[in-house]
Structure 1
Amino acid sequence: MAVANTTKTSWRLQEIVAHSSNVVCLALGKNSGRLLATGGEDCRVNIWAVSKPNCIMSLTGHNNPVECVKFNNSEEQVVAGSQSGSLRVWDLEAAKILRTLMGHKANICSLDFHPFGEYLASGSMDTNIKLWDVRRKGCVFRYKGHTQAVRCLAFSPDGKWLASASDDSTIKLWDLTAGKMITEFTAHTGAINILQFHPNEYLLASGSSDRTIKLWDLEKFKMIGSSEGEMGPVRCLAFNLDGFCLYSGAVDSLRVYGWEPDRCFDVVPVGWGKVADLAICNHQLIGVSYNLTNVSSYVVDLTRVKKSGSVIQGVIQDEQPLTEPSPKGSTLRRNYDRPLTTCSTQRVKQSSESDRRSPEGERRSPSSEDEKESSAEIRNPEDYKDFFQPKSAISRTPPKSEPFPQYYILCLWENYHIDLLCIRCVAVLSFIFKLFLLLYFIIYPARNNRPSVLGDDEALAQIRKGHDTMCVMLTSRHKNLDTIRAVWGSGDVKTSLDSAVSMKDLSIVVDILNIVNLKPSLWKLDLCTSILPQIEELLQSKYESYVQTGCTSLKLILKRFWPLISDTLTAPPSVGVDITREERHQKCKACYKQLKNLSNVVKNKADQVGRHGSAFKELQLLMAPLDY
């Protein structure tokens, strides 16, 4: 394994023998950038930790070579499509086969999971696209229109659209709710290998064997840019986390593009050959490629890559001033509206009854023989626990040191993400509290030596116990939230957060952060200076939901603002008076000091066992550049 050289922009991380026969496909987990799935001619799917030499799990079940693999967004599931057209979905946390889906008539060429719902899209050499309900094992819709193999599928970040690309050189955009094609793009002259939605804007990037990358405006449905300079077919694309630039992976090189106008910011030589997938982790870009039975991984240090004005097709340009990252990118293009919770209400148009009963067998459940043949063998228990077991459900047993009513009502309240625009009245919460206590004494009558049947007076006394105290607490919280809501209405998020901090009530801060964490467009550098001191308290809280909120906020800050903080603090002094730059420098300096303090807290908690162990390990990786 190669060791990272701090003087290099790119280096090879490792090379492993991934299968007993030729590797056919692979995929990186895009959420963490730390997981890799490989599929081979040996009909297996192997799961690896990037940078580690040993296989974590080996998944079997397919009777034909695996042609395509894909992780879901949480990296708890992986799907693999075979040469025969069958699909298998494994639950990695439970280490078992979850679903077997049949219906395609030829090789599976492309796969993607819906960002919110339990849906999966597959494209095949039979030219069809199928949308599957993973829970019900059935195909809910079939999209027809391509005339050749469907090479790439991608759901939009808001989960409303599905984009497909084909060997027929066309891109089609499908409306999942209406069940029909919205538009078709036909500017490419070769097979299209990859599609990538912008993380925030209505923008789509495509890479083709015609050696071009094209960008499409999804409001006006027209091409807004075409980059020509690749030395070979474009195989991989990835937008930077802030959406300001686009990375392109081609043979032995990484290119960095901007648009409006079209620009090539940087070209980084990387010896990865025909790179097959890209992911961004800890301000590093991970690239993976395969040759015969081997898989190689490479790293590009994104802090050394130019992402603003530098080179445009060989012409030197003036360096652009450093600006604070904005989720809206370089234009005022419309942003995606994401659901406020992880539970999606997105509905897709169902196929007709005759289509669902078609002889293709789309709704055929796997036979018992298929299920028996499928397995998930854990090869490396230590890495398996590190990646998958911390995600399992936590115990619901209350601590012995804390009385039942306070413990359970706090857990109930903490895990209820309050929307400032939808705060319920105290009377409703009081009713829920009463009902919650009543159910407890019905379900658990024997606990703590209580009689199995309670008399009316005793039951009423138990229900009333602590009720007045709880109502006072909730009334105070409701009043504070109303105050915050009034400030929030002015559109000043930082002032809202500062008001919450001044109330000396950490639960109010958590309520605000649970909303801000779900709305990237609200984040600014000013907000980081207010949030970071609060995160230190959250990470050391005894309440798990507080710790989870703190981890989420810290991860978001590191991913979005560390490049800005690092670049600002390492930049040479400016000539003359630049008040804006000086103010930004002071903010970045304050953030850096707070992050250094937090890094010690994270290091102390990274080795803990439990639900948040893996979250702290990931934060430790993200905070590694602070030590340089």
Structure 2
Amino acid sequence: MEGESKLLASGGEDCTIRLWSMSTRAKNHPLIATFHGHEKALSFLSVAWHKSSLLVSCSKDSKVKVWDTVAPSSGSSSCVGSAHLNSNGPPIAMKCHESLCYIAAGAEVTAIDLRTMKKASVLALQNHRILSCEMMPSEWLICTGTKDRALLWDIRKAQELPNTVAEMQSNGPVTLLHLDQYKVVTGVPSDGQVHVWETRTGDSLNSLGCGEPSRLGVRSRVSAMAVDGCRIAMAGSSPEGCVLHYRDFATASAPVVSLPGKEKEVSRFWRPQEFDDSEEEEY
């Protein structure tokens, strides 16, 4: 958090939120305030986009609170808004954009207007519990991982309209998920691979293995992944030990995939954000 002074907010199992001053270069940063009010451990913290002095918190019981960090006091008096989601599961993800806060929990993604603390919209997945969720509200997109697929949603459309942009099938629960304007990357821990899809169409682009098969012929399990532009890192394990697999496509000289009927169309998979569509260079 930044304003006249730099602040760091932390929250955890003790149900409290602490504000720390980061304005000095001292090794030990002073504690400014402690906020009380949550009854369960903290799951997420985020700065409100429409007013940077407001801090949004969400606890494991799906209670959302907004705190005023300007001249804070220790206690609950700094809480300026609260709401409770009636979800059937703990929060999976939270993202603030403009004056809205999007929270995925149970089988729903709920948007809360932080100015009124009222529900602005609810995206309900019928019979699909959300296992992972990534959001790009600036692009009107939300991607949810479920037990057998990843679903990409257009949040501009009303709930009663068909608002699914794409369905990306999986052979297991999608617990690892990445979303950006070019690609969706999904991972199933038991699969040993991550799969890459085109954001605009949901077309399958590529599958990347987490290391080579072991001497016993068993593929590595994927336990974690991180994607940054053209780079991807995967962590996994096999009967022979742990593995960390890293790939960088920034200097690749050939298209990753050529889709049937779209040979002239170069996929944007791993293309840097600043890539100019008018350029003829293929990666």
The answer to whether TM tops 0.5 is yes
Aligned to 1:218: 155
Task: Give the number of aligned pairs.
Answer: 248
Is the Cα–Cα contact under 8 Å of residues 212 and 229 in structure 1 kept in the other structure? yes
- CA distance in 1 between counterparts of 2:282 and 2:179 reads 26
Unaligned runs of 5+ in 1: 1-71, 326-557, 572-628
- Aligned pairs for 1:608-623 (under 5 A) are none
Equivalent position amino acid for 2:44 in 1: S
- CA distance in 1 between counterparts of 2:248 and 2:172 reads 22
Q: Where is the helix percentage greater, Structure 1 or Structure 2?
A: 1
- CA distance in 1 between counterparts of 2:93 and 2:228 reads 20
Using the TM superposition, give the Cα deviation of residue 260 of structure 1 relative to its aligned residue in structure 2, in angstroms: 5.3
Is the Cα–Cα contact under 8 Å of residues 256 and 307 in structure 1 kept in the other structure? no
CA 1:231/1:104 → structure 2, altered by over 3 Å: closer, same or farther? same
- Pick 1 or 2: higher relative contact order, CA cutoff 8 A, min separation 6: 1
Aligned to 1:155: 96
1:127 corresponds to 2:62: yes
Aligned to 1:544: none
- CA distance in 2 between counterparts of 1:100 and 1:130 reads 14
Q: Helix, strand or coil: the match of 2:182?
A: coil
Is the Cα–Cα contact under 8 Å of residues 309 and 320 in structure 1 kept in the other structure? no
CA 1:300/1:190 → structure 2, altered by over 3 Å: closer, same or farther? farther
- CA distance in 2 between counterparts of 1:89 and 1:182 reads 29
CA 1:259/1:564 → structure 2, altered by over 3 Å: closer, same or farther? closer
CA 1:194/1:262 → structure 2, altered by over 3 Å: closer, same or farther? same
Please point out which of 212, 233, 248 is paired with 1:301.
248
Aligned to 2:223: 274
Aligned to 1:263: 203
Q: Helix, strand or coil: the match of 1:192?
A: coil
CA 1:105/1:263 → structure 2, altered by over 3 Å: closer, same or farther? same
Using the TM superposition, give the Cα deviation of residue 182 of structure 1 relative to its aligned residue in structure 2, in angstroms: 1.8
- CA distance in 2 between counterparts of 1:105 and 1:121 reads 15
CA 1:260/1:237 → structure 2, altered by over 3 Å: closer, same or farther? closer
Unaligned runs of 5+ in 2: 212-220
- Aligned pairs for 1:425-444 (under 5 A) are none
Is the Cα–Cα contact under 8 Å of residues 113 and 155 in structure 1 kept in the other structure? yes
Is the Cα–Cα contact under 8 Å of residues 126 and 149 in structure 1 kept in the other structure? yes
- CA distance in 2 between counterparts of 1:279 and 1:79 reads 25
Equivalent position amino acid for 1:273 in 2: V
Q: Where is the strand percentage greater, Structure 1 or Structure 2?
A: 2
CA deviation profile, 1:302-348 (whole Å, cap 9, x unmatched): 4459988646xxxx55335249x8xxxxxxxxxxxxxxxxxxxxxxx
Using the TM superposition, give the Cα deviation of residue 227 of structure 1 relative to its aligned residue in structure 2, in angstroms: 1.6
CA 1:570/1:220 → structure 2, altered by over 3 Å: closer, same or farther? closer
1:227 corresponds to 2:168: yes
CA 1:91/1:213 → structure 2, altered by over 3 Å: closer, same or farther? farther
TM-score normalised by structure 1 residue count: 0.34
1:561 corresponds to 2:274: yes
Aligned to 2:218: none
Aligned to 1:111: 45
- CA distance in 2 between counterparts of 1:289 and 1:89 reads 35
CA deviation profile, 1:504-536 (whole Å, cap 9, x unmatched): xxxxxxxxxxxxxxxxxxxxxxxxxxxxxxxxx
Is the Cα–Cα contact under 8 Å of residues 104 and 126 in structure 1 kept in the other structure? no
- CA distance in 1 between counterparts of 2:253 and 2:136 reads 20
- Aligned pairs for 1:447-596 (under 5 A) are 560-562=273-275, 568-569=280-281
The two structures, once aligned, show a CA RMSD in angstroms of: 3.9
Equivalent position amino acid for 2:170 in 1: G
Equivalent position amino acid for 2:82 in 1: R
Aligned to 2:216: none
Q: Helix, strand or coil: the match of 1:226?
A: strand
- Aligned pairs for 1:57-456 (under 5 A) are 78-92=8-22, 94=24, 96=29, 97-115=31-49, 117-135=52-70, 136=72, 138-147=78-87, 148-156=89-97, 159-166=98-105, 168-187=106-125, 189-198=127-136, 200-208=138-146, 210-221=147-158, 222-229=163-170, 231-239=172-180, 243-251=181-189, 252-259=192-199, 261-270=201-210, 273-275=222-224, 278-280=226-228, 283-286=230-233, 299-303=246-250, 304=252, 310=258, 316=260, 318-322=262-266
